[in-house]
Homo-oligomer: A and B are copies of this chain.
């Protein structure tokens, strides 16, 4: 698999930096190659084109995040605690790497329909796990059993997403991780039974 090849991760990490610093449209493959310290041709051994790089970056980082979330879900905790840990993990990941935060909040918002569908297919993996937490909370009587799960998911994701974009647009000058418990409290109140 291409992922096991030595330079795959090196190119992915370089792409995050180049896309964050230049914007997706100005992030030429040659710039990514230079940042990764590989020849331009090497990139094409791993990726079809720039679009494939963007999607692969997102898949790769989402894969790691999803594994972490699966571990949280497997633990013997209430749905409220799982939701809190999910919010905290999401905030921690993006607060720890501003390049990743810029790519996630600004550069992944592409309007081109084919590209957008591929991006949202990756996002779906995360939202499916979020739904598992919400369903458990509804079954266990912690969350309102009559709430519309799609709207609740859109509220949870939308609130986190807007909080993080505002933090990015304000040059990440305040502590994002500190906001996680406050966001959890606001959202839990909205969903409680």
Contact = CB atoms under 8 A, between A and B. Distances in A.
Contacts of A169: 116, 120
Interface stretch (A7-15, A44-52, A160-168): A160-168
Contacts of A177: none
A153 to B, nearest CB: 9
A157 B187 CA distance: 14
Contact of A182 (B112, B148, B179, B191): B148
Contact of A151 (B120, B154, B186): B186
Contacts of A116: 106, 169
A173 interface: no
A158 interface: yes
Interface string A5-47: 0000000000000000001110000000000000000000000
Given A24-B111, A148-B182, A189-B190, 18 more contacts: A25-B25, A106-B109, A106-B111, A109-B111, A150-B166, A151-B179, A154-B166, A155-B158, A155-B159, A155-B163, A155-B183, A155-B186, A155-B187, A158-B158, A158-B160, A186-B190, A187-B190, A189-B192
Interface of A: 23-25, 106-107, 109, 111-112, 116, 120, 147-148, 150-152, 154-155, 157-163, 166, 169, 179, 182-183, 186-187, 189-192
